[in-house]
Amino acid sequence: MTGSMKASKFLTKFLFYAGNIIIGIIFVSPLIWMISASLKPEAEIFANMNSLSTFIPVGASLNNFAEVFSRLNMAQVFKNTLVYISLILVFDLLINSICGYALAKFDFKGRGLMLSFIVALMVMPMEAIMLPLYIEMSQIGWVNKLPALVVPFVAKCFSIYMFRQFFCDIPDELLEAASIDGSSPIRTFFTVVMPISKTVYATVFILDFVAHWNDFMWPFLVMTGESKRTIQLAIQVFFGTQPIHYSAIMAALVVSAIPMLVMFIFMQKYYIEGIASSGIKG
């Protein structure tokens, strides 16, 4: 009986891990194919699409990457993108975390109504406000300027909600102890709350970074200068210039994906913990 139970437990565990590995391979296969295609000559990209050999870069070379860097000023493109994303992240993490903390730990008139309003705004897509937002940016003269990329995304309902959910789980006794020691609410937030909230900060950081790194439509509307292109606008050059070389497109996509992959590899632990601790609790 004991041996049968052990065998059953081993089989269950084996099937669980085998199933997860298979699902993981399926999800990562487009990324593997993209990397393989970026190393192939143009004529080989769509060859053998019905077999696993399509994932093997026959005749691999770095010529496609050389074409990417020769046609684009990648240093300027990366600088433009990282500067505006960094500014958004700094303001987002600071302002929205303070808002979330106030909603979680301070009792003031209209708090419930404000939270309901924030949750309601979370379902509003960017496309619904893009046109009036662009008109506003144009009227104040921010088109083709950095503030047009940063200011509209400083306050985010989803970030506020994420922070609020996490801060709700911080024991009130901890904050009361800091208050007894003479710490002001602002000081308590920066010296007590923030240091123990790394997971939710990392979660919001990753979600914001990925969202704005992949953003195309809004930068396309407000940034018209060639020298101010973001990474996604730069990649569009390969889609809109004839003849279209899919090998170069794949190489450009690989280059654009590297920062996200590196960031997620180093921060995935905090991301998973943050989602588990704040994203699914009421």
pTM above 0.85, yes or no: no
pLDDT at residue 223, rounded to an integer: 87
- Rounded Cα distance, 201 and 166, in Å: 10
Identify whether residues 185 and 88 lie together within a single domain. Answer: yes
What is the span of the domain harbouring residue 213? 70-279
Cite the beta strand spans of the chain per DSSP E: none
CATH of the domain at 161: 1.10.3720.10
Owner of token pair 């994303």: 85
| Three-state DSSP state, 61 | coil
Identify whether residues 42 and 79 lie together within a single domain. Answer: no
Identify whether residues 54 and 133 lie together within a single domain. Answer: no
Number of domains in the chain: 2
Identify whether residues 80 and 39 lie together within a single domain. Answer: no
Question: Of 25, 42, 61, which one is at a domain's C-terminal end?
Answer: 61
Identify whether residues 148 and 215 lie together within a single domain. Answer: yes
Identify whether residues 44 and 98 lie together within a single domain. Answer: no
Identify whether residues 212 and 102 lie together within a single domain. Answer: yes
Identify whether residues 105 and 128 lie together within a single domain. Answer: yes
In the chain, the amino acid numbered 11 is L
Identify whether residues 37 and 74 lie together within a single domain. Answer: no
Nearest to 41 by CA among 16, 61, 21, 56: 61
Identify whether residues 151 and 241 lie together within a single domain. Answer: yes
pLDDT at residue 276, rounded to an integer: 60
> Virtual CA dihedral for 272, 274, 276, 282, nearest 10 degrees?
-160
pLDDT at residue 178, rounded to an integer: 84
pLDDT at residue 182, rounded to an integer: 82
- Rounded Cα distance, 89 and 86, in Å: 5
pLDDT at residue 265, rounded to an integer: 80
Identify whether residues 12 and 37 lie together within a single domain. Answer: yes
pLDDT at residue 83, rounded to an integer: 92
pLDDT values of the chain reduced to their tens digit, one per residue, 282 residues: 466 777 778 788 888 888 889 998 888 888 888 888 888 887 777 777 777 777 878 777 888 888 888 888 888 888 999 999 999 999 999 999 999 999 988 888 888 898 888 888 888 888 888 889 999 999 998 988 889 999 999 889 999 999 998 898 888 888 888 888 888 888 888 988 888 888 889 889 988 898 899 888 899 889 877 788 888 888 887 777 677 778 888 888 888 888 888 887 877 777 676 666 544 443
Nearest to 213 by CA among 83, 64, 75: 83
The residues, any chain, with a CB within 8 Å of residue 145's CB and separated by 6 or more, are none
Identify whether residues 191 and 84 lie together within a single domain. Answer: yes
